[in-house]
Structures are given as C-alpha cells and as structure tokens.
Structure 1
Amino acid sequence: VLANVESQIDVYSAEKAITPFERKYWASGQQSLRLLCDL
C-alpha cells in the first residue's frame, strides 16, 4: 500500500500489441505489467 491506495500488479497480455513498445518487448520474450488501483 502506497499513499493509502490499494493496488495490484498483473501481467497484461492481448492477442495483438497495441503500441510499438508492446510489440518490441513481446517479440523479445518479455512481459508487460499493469498496475491496477481504485482511486
């Protein structure tokens, strides 16, 4: 918990990359992560 905000980190995946950043990292075998929180 940071700044009294509950959060969770999750692996993000989709059938097709949306950004060049995702395409580059997925092509090299890396994963994308996302931060989920309720503000």
Structure 2
Amino acid sequence: MFLLMLAVGSAAGTILETGKVTLVEQAEKAKATANTVK
C-alpha cells in the first residue's frame, strides 16, 4: 500500500513538473510572439 502511494505521489510530482515546464515554455513563446509583433 505504501509503495502504491509512493508511486502515485512521484507520478503526480512528475505531472506537476511537466506542467510547470509547459507553462514556462508557453510564456516564453508568448513573449517571443509579442516581440515579433512589435
């Protein structure tokens, strides 16, 4: 049971990290697009 919780926790952590990276990438792309439009 503990191992299952550990696996779920690490999976959730990975998803959160991936989400953060995606948000940062989107922000960078938005900045680049804004600079190009100027």
In the superposition, the TM-score normalised over structure 1's length comes to 0.28
Higher relative contact order (CA 8 A, sep 6+): 1
Structure (1/2) with the larger helix percentage: 2
Rg larger in structure: 2
